[in-house]
Amino acid sequence: MGNSLAYSSITKKIIMSLAGLFLISFLLVHLGINLLILFDKTYESFNMAAHFMATNPLIQVFQWVLFIGFIIHIIYGIIVQIQNWSARPVKYMKKGYSELSYFSKFMIHTGVVVFIFLIIHFANFFIVAKFGHVEEITYKSGTYENMGAVVFETFKIGWYVVFYVLALLLLGFHLEHGIQSAFQSLGFNHWRYTPVIKIIGTLFSILITLGFLAIPLVIYFT
């Protein structure tokens, strides 16, 4: 990555958009597993899925790919942003307002909050699951660490729920611009399909956000 600065502007955007779309695939898997927690009071299916994710060798390799995807997306995001700030050394007195894609103005801001969230989230769940002590629970199907209970306890903490909700709303805004932007960066723009991509991207961002938000809110308020 030594010459990441030397890459052309378009190459940087193509790399970022591929990494971004890849991260979205991870969000889908993650959401699917999280939602199990709401449908099973004993957490059996959730704990089983968590156990699978923590032990399956393929997933272990994939975890590193995912980690690298994040790093690439973040590093290029920051490089692109710094170059863009320095492309206009003297600012306008009257701010322009003609941006058509509103959330595109805040990609670095929403991105940074998501990044901070990821670190805290990582410390709370991933590190606890990997290195901390989690009670085990035995079902008919086997004995697993009771990650469901860890999630439940964490989402009873008020400030954490507030932060989680905020960070995921911002992730939703990030995606609202990001999804259609990634297609455009990759060169995909079509008079008929681009409007469809924009609608699907927006719906997708809303559904993903609502899906993730449902879990802490349901746990906190019941």
Instruction: Note the residues at the interface with other proteins (CB under 8 A).
Output: 8-14, 80, 83-84, 86-101, 104-105, 107, 177, 180-181, 184-191, 194
Pick from ligand HEM, other proteins, none: which does 192 bind, CB < 5 to 8 A by kind? none
Tell me how far apart the alpha carbons of residues 29 and 34 are, in angstroms, rounded to a whole number.
Answer: 9
Pick from other proteins, ligand HEM, none: which does 119 bind, CB < 5 to 8 A by kind? none
Instruction: Give the amino acid at 91.
Output: K
150 interacts with ligand HEM by CB under 6 A: no
Checking 75-81 for CB contacts under 8 A at 24+ apart, the result is 75/1, 75/4, 76/4, 76/12, 76/15, 76/16, 76/19, 77/16, 77/107, 77/108, 77/111, 78/108, 79/4, 79/5, 79/12, 80/9, 80/12, 80/13, 80/16, 81/107, 81/108
| Residue of 7, 62, 106, 115 interacting with ligand HEM (CB under 6 A) | 115
| Residue of 185, 197, 204, 212 interacting with ligand HEM (CB under 6 A) | 185
Residues forming the site for ligand HEM (CB under 6 A): 13, 16-17, 20-21, 23-24, 27, 73-74, 77, 80-81, 107-108, 111-112, 114-115, 174, 178-179, 181-182, 185
